[in-house]
Amino acid sequence: MSAGNRGPLVLAGLLLGVGLGGFVDGILLHQILQWHHMLSTPLPPDDVVNIKVNMFWDGLFHAFTWLVTLAGVWALWRAGQRSDVPWSTRTFAGTLLAGWGLFNVVEGLIDHQLFGLHHVKPGPAQLAWDMGFLVFGALLIVVGWALSRAGREDRASRAGLRVPQPAH
């Protein structure tokens, strides 16, 4: 007897985590705090034309996060229709956190560091804010992975199953 196929639940959690993490970034940092927009470094919002350009690119960013979230909802729906998928709150919550962390790390490395399109909080300490964003993302991945792993072990032990350990 096996512990089941966690893959569909893990995929759903990761997709939802990436999408929801993108929404946190866009809503909190772009809109509420107005610290940055998708193109804030090349186009500072100092006139109406630049504000419109930034709003357009922020809109594309939100459309992307909406599509990833929709894909996550679809993957979760599909996982729920399968009898071989073991449901675990820890696995799902862990993959949500890991997906959010993955979003932060990828977005931070590409947009902040590689292309310099924008920074978390532009100004004299922008590198510190950018590094904090990356560290926060890495912590979310580590905590999410550990929580997901605990969910795997809890689920298997409740079912009386042996969890295979990775070879060293």
Model pLDDT for residues 78-95, shown as the tens digit of each residue: 999 999 999 999 999 999
What whole-number distance in Å separates Cα of residue 133 and Cα of residue 135? Answer: 6
Q: Residue 61: how many CB atoms within 10 A of its CB?
A: 19
Q: How many CA atoms lie within 13 A of 162 on its CB side?
A: 3
DSSP string, 92-137: HHHHHHHHHHHHHHHHIIIIIIIS-S--SS-STTHHHHHHHHHHHH
Calculate the average pLDDT of the chain.
Answer: 87
What whole-number distance in Å separates Cα of residue 81 and Cα of residue 28? Answer: 34
**Largest interatomic CA distance in the chain:** 64
Name the nearest CA neighbour of 18 among 67, 80, 88.
67
Structure confidence at residue 42 (pLDDT): 61
In tens, the pLDDT along 28-68 reads 988 898 887 777 766 566 677 777 888 898 899 999 999 99
What whole-number distance in Å separates Cα of residue 168 and Cα of residue 149? Answer: 17
What whole-number distance in Å separates Cα of residue 74 and Cα of residue 76? Answer: 5
Between 45 and 110, the more confident residue is: 110
Between 19 and 155, the more confident residue is: 19
pLDDT greater than 60 at residue 71: yes
